[in-house]
Structure 1
Amino acid sequence: MRCFHVQPGGTLGGTLQVPGDKSVSHRAIMFSAIADGRSRITGFLESADCLATLRAFEAMGVSFVRDAESLVVDGVGRDGLTPPGMPLDLGNSGTSMRLLSGLMAGQAFDSVLTGDASLSRRPMGRVIDPLTAMGAHIAGSEGRRAPLRITGGRSLQAIEYTPPVASAQIKSCVLLAGLYAKGVTTVHEPGVSRDHTERMLGAFGVALSRDGAALSLAGGQSLRAFDVAVPADLSSAAFFLVGASIAQPRNGAEPLTLTGVGINPTRRGVIDILDRMGADITLTNTREQAGEPVADIVVRPASLRGVDIGGRDVELAIDEFPAIFIAAACAQGKTRLTDAAELRVKESDRIAVMADGLAALGVEVSVQPDGLTITGRPEPHSFTGGQIHSHEDHRIAMAFAMAGLRASAPIEIDDCDYVDTSFPGFVAKAGAAGLVIDAREQGA
């Protein structure tokens, strides 16, 4: 297992392209696999999570060919998947497991969805419940967790469903099962969630309708091949948005420019929160790419201030809070987060793990059941050095790497192999931008 070793100081500047959007890459693989015809995917994220999705469809008879610029997918059609003959190992990818559970519920054959120890600890009842209501048969292990054993050949019936929380994964799972169900499936969203699924299904020729918070899809529809240009991932860019904001300004230093980043309105909360905190962020060259809004983002160092975060903020920035917490620790005043209990059931309990890590670096934190309060230290050294336990959570590791920009001594972050699930090449990209970081074997 690798650890990250971050020296204090450094800065971030120049032009950087972060990897392709993980959410869009997952869906591009899934939808092109069950489409009629050949699709071409550019900008695909070659991360462990997305490759787990790709391998699952390879095991079910879908052909993928890489060339210099793209990934070519020969779709097998809505009903063309074949039995995999083995459990589908989805590694650490909760997105793969939750979306695939809906898709596999509609197949004629049995399947087993499994994953690593971390994924096997994550709750799956939220997708088991609506799928069971549609007529699927899914057996989970103790605590309704992976592995999930899905019985094929079931006749699915459309439902109207309101998820217990706003969740793109639950919504997408139900909609994908709805493609194989009799009737019109409707999801009533209790809040805002990412809309990549409905955007991309529409691009693949599936008709959906929205009436306020209700999203509907008729069963029996087929997908037609479509070429997908995947934008750069805003969740990956978030660490650099924060890093460039908190770095100490230097005379003559150029700003950091992140190119071709997706700025989908259902997930740009990190930009809006940092803007409220006083960050110097400018969007340029805005455009549309495969139905997704995209821009180049220019970031300069700024003096940040604490803010209150809750409600809709949480829905629009659920994956970016580890990075936001680092910004809060460098801000003037207190940052208060509420309504964020969902962070406790991510790859780790991100409220507890981030609070422990911040405290280990000398930051005052108080924890509540649905959030925390961070008292910022706006001085040049907002953090001491120290040892951080990532709990095998990729976003925790990358967030604390950025803390090195305002640290007084080195920071070592353990269990960092999982960073490859979303951001392969993170250390090289961060180092090229100016962060003083290296990866080494733990204990070396």
Structure 2
Amino acid sequence: MRAYRIAPGGTLRGEVRVPGDKSISHRAIMLGALADGDTTVTGFLEGADSLATLAAFRSMGVAIEGPEAGRLRIRGVGRDGLRAPSAPLDVGNAGTAMRLLCGLLAGQPFASKLVGDASLSRRPMRRVTEPLARMGADIETAEAGTAPLTIRPVSQLESIDYAMPVASAQVKSCLLLAGLYADGDTCVSEPAVTRDHTERMLATFGCRVRRERQRVCVPGGARLTAAPVEVPADISSAAFFLVGASIADGADLTLPAVGINPTRVGVLHILKAMGADIAVANRRQCGAEPVADLRVRSARLQGIEIPAAQVPLAIDEFPALFVAAACADGETLLTGAEELRVKESDRIAVMAAGLAQLGVAAEVLRDGIRIQGRGAAPLGGGSVDSHGDHRIAMAFAMAALRASAPILVRDCANVDTSFPGFAALAVGAGLGIDEAVA
């Protein structure tokens, strides 16, 4: 089992270019495959999750050249050009791929089956299969409402006007993709703003996307036209370095060309509310997405009550933010984040257990966590189990910057799903991390 051994202390300095955005990389493959014409993608994340999406579309007859240094050429087959795969589509650990593909495949004239690894096969899928069933889709799940998902063809999907009970970009995107194959306008309303990469990219590919506050609609039968896609650096990956440089003495780190989509910048708002020293410079457009260079320096952090409006804007960044809270003065309280309990792991319970190993008091709540920061006092060392969750593994690696003894983080192989080369980049910035077997 792959593990990280991290020496205590140190700092982060210089410049780190984190990999391309995983969410955008998934969507570039999907929409490029359905488009008429060839789509060129630059900055593509060559991580296991997005490569699983790439492999799935190759299995459905889409010719894709690359990736080579983050560059792809997708030979689009058009809205109706996918072919039946000869075997189940295995998306590994990629929850985004499984949920979005479920919607896209629901409208195809062939049967298909989606499978994943043990972790993904425990994650809830009824949140997408139930509204898809209301559209007329024929999808069979395991008894617990989880993968594998067996999708059978239907004569026609019906449009839907769906109010999501829980904010989820994956559910929204799943239904919008299914809506391309429905008989009218499909609309999705969300209780809180979630990432809008699907809507932005659909519009770039020529789809008439209609937005009305927190409601978005797409027309059935829309055809997509190939367009170049530039993938910015992933703010979810940058979050670990933002936290690491905030808590490490003497840190001064620049992260260039990071995506700052307004539906993804909760981590910046929360860290700044805690007193982080983060400068946003050189704002510009990277295709349909805004980007900027982020400079972060060490700061004395203060515990806060995290605003409810920021929760869906930072849902993937909370493992890193919990480490920031552990190093802050006073208490940090998070509520309204039930979604964290059904990610690659129960991120609330697993982070609380790991923080306890480092001497940090954390109370698990039904929908969040209460963390008593240690302020200027160092964290302890010890052994932490990431439970195969890539974001938890990287969060605890950064915690060593404020530890008094080495930290061993177990079960780190899945870091490659979102951040291949994490350890090497972290070493280059100053973190004393080694990969080991434990």
Q: State the secondary structure of the residue aligned to 1:128.
A: helix
- Give me the whole-angstrom Cα distance separating, in 1, the residues matched to 2:415 and 2:270: 24
What code does the residue aligned with 2:365 have? Q
What code does the residue aligned with 2:334 have? L
| 2:286 match | 289
Matched, 1:400 2:433: no
Deviation larger for 307-316 or 133-142: 307-316
- Give me the whole-angstrom Cα distance separating, in 2, the residues matched to 1:154 and 1:16: 50
| 1:216 match | 217
The one of 347, 351, 366 aligned to 2:348: 351
Whether the aligned pair in 2 keeps the contact of 1:105 and 1:154 (CA below 8 Å) is: no
| 1:164 match | 165
- Give me the whole-angstrom Cα distance separating, in 2, the residues matched to 1:160 and 1:294: 32
User: TM (normalized to structure 1)?
Assistant: 0.97
Matched, 1:56 2:65: no
Q: State the secondary structure of the residue aligned to 1:223.
A: coil
How does 1:252-267 map onto structure 2 within 5 Å? 255-267=252-264
Matched, 1:342 2:339: yes
How does 1:372-391 map onto structure 2 within 5 Å? 372-381=369-378, 383-391=379-387
Whether the aligned pair in 1 keeps the contact of 2:26 and 2:53 (CA below 8 Å) is: yes
Whether the aligned pair in 1 keeps the contact of 2:189 and 2:215 (CA below 8 Å) is: yes
C-alpha displacement at 1:68, in angstroms?
5.2
User: TM (normalized to structure 2)?
Assistant: 0.99
Q: State the secondary structure of the residue aligned to 2:114.
A: strand
Q: State the secondary structure of the residue aligned to 2:41.
A: strand
Whether the aligned pair in 2 keeps the contact of 1:60 and 1:83 (CA below 8 Å) is: yes
How does 1:22-421 map onto structure 2 within 5 Å? 22-66=22-66, 67=68, 70-249=71-250, 255-381=252-378, 383-421=379-417
Task: List per-residue Cα deviations over 1:66-120 (Å, max 9, x = no partner).
Answer: 2556211100000000011100000000000000000000100000000000000
Whether the aligned pair in 2 keeps the contact of 1:33 and 1:57 (CA below 8 Å) is: yes
C-alpha displacement at 1:379, in angstroms?
1.7
Q: State the secondary structure of the residue aligned to 2:201.
A: helix
What code does the residue aligned with 1:47 have? G
- Give me the whole-angstrom Cα distance separating, in 1, the residues matched to 2:276 and 2:45: 28
Whether the aligned pair in 2 keeps the contact of 1:247 and 1:405 (CA below 8 Å) is: yes
What code does the residue aligned with 2:185 have? V
Q: State the secondary structure of the residue aligned to 1:309.
A: coil
- Give me the whole-angstrom Cα distance separating, in 2, the residues matched to 1:270 and 1:132: 35
| CA spacing shift, 1:337–1:111, aligned 2, 3 Å | same
| 2:437 match | 441
Q: State the secondary structure of the residue aligned to 2:292.
A: strand
- Give me the whole-angstrom Cα distance separating, in 1, the residues matched to 2:70 and 2:156: 41
Unpaired segments ≥5 residues, structure 1: none
C-alpha displacement at 1:154, in angstroms?
3.3
Whether the aligned pair in 1 keeps the contact of 2:9 and 2:402 (CA below 8 Å) is: yes
- Give me the whole-angstrom Cα distance separating, in 2, the residues matched to 1:113 and 1:148: 5
- Give me the whole-angstrom Cα distance separating, in 2, the residues matched to 1:172 and 1:291: 17
C-alpha displacement at 1:185, in angstroms?
0.5
Whether the aligned pair in 1 keeps the contact of 2:46 and 2:70 (CA below 8 Å) is: no
- Give me the whole-angstrom Cα distance separating, in 2, the residues matched to 1:367 and 1:134: 38
Whether the aligned pair in 2 keeps the contact of 1:310 and 1:340 (CA below 8 Å) is: no
Whether the aligned pair in 2 keeps the contact of 1:310 and 1:339 (CA below 8 Å) is: no
What code does the residue aligned with 2:269 have? D
| CA spacing shift, 1:68–1:302, aligned 2, 3 Å | closer
- Give me the whole-angstrom Cα distance separating, in 2, the residues matched to 1:68 and 1:170: 31
Task: List per-residue Cα deviations over 1:274-304 (Å, max 9, x = no partner).
Answer: 0000000001110011110100000000000
Whether the aligned pair in 2 keeps the contact of 1:248 and 1:380 (CA below 8 Å) is: no
- Quote the RMSD (CA, aligned, Å): 0.9
- Give me the whole-angstrom Cα distance separating, in 2, the residues matched to 1:70 and 1:213: 33
- Give me the whole-angstrom Cα distance separating, in 2, the residues matched to 1:99 and 1:54: 13
Q: State the secondary structure of the residue aligned to 1:174.
A: helix
Whether the aligned pair in 1 keeps the contact of 2:265 and 2:314 (CA below 8 Å) is: yes
Task: List per-residue Cα deviations over 1:125-157 (Å, max 9, x = no partner).
Answer: 000011100000000012110000000243101
Whether the aligned pair in 2 keeps the contact of 1:331 and 1:378 (CA below 8 Å) is: yes
Q: State the secondary structure of the residue aligned to 1:308.
A: coil
What code does the residue aligned with 1:431 have? V
C-alpha displacement at 1:365, in angstroms?
1.1
- Give me the whole-angstrom Cα distance separating, in 1, the residues matched to 2:307 and 2:110: 43
Unpaired segments ≥5 residues, structure 2: none
Whether the aligned pair in 2 keeps the contact of 1:304 and 1:330 (CA below 8 Å) is: yes
| 2:13 match | 13
Q: State the secondary structure of the residue aligned to 1:412.
A: strand
- Give me the whole-angstrom Cα distance separating, in 2, the residues matched to 1:288 and 1:310: 28
- Give me the whole-angstrom Cα distance separating, in 2, the residues matched to 1:3 and 1:100: 32
Task: List per-residue Cα deviations over 1:300-358 (Å, max 9, x = no partner).
Answer: 00000000014111111000000000000010110011111111011100000000000
Q: State the secondary structure of the residue aligned to 1:265.
A: coil
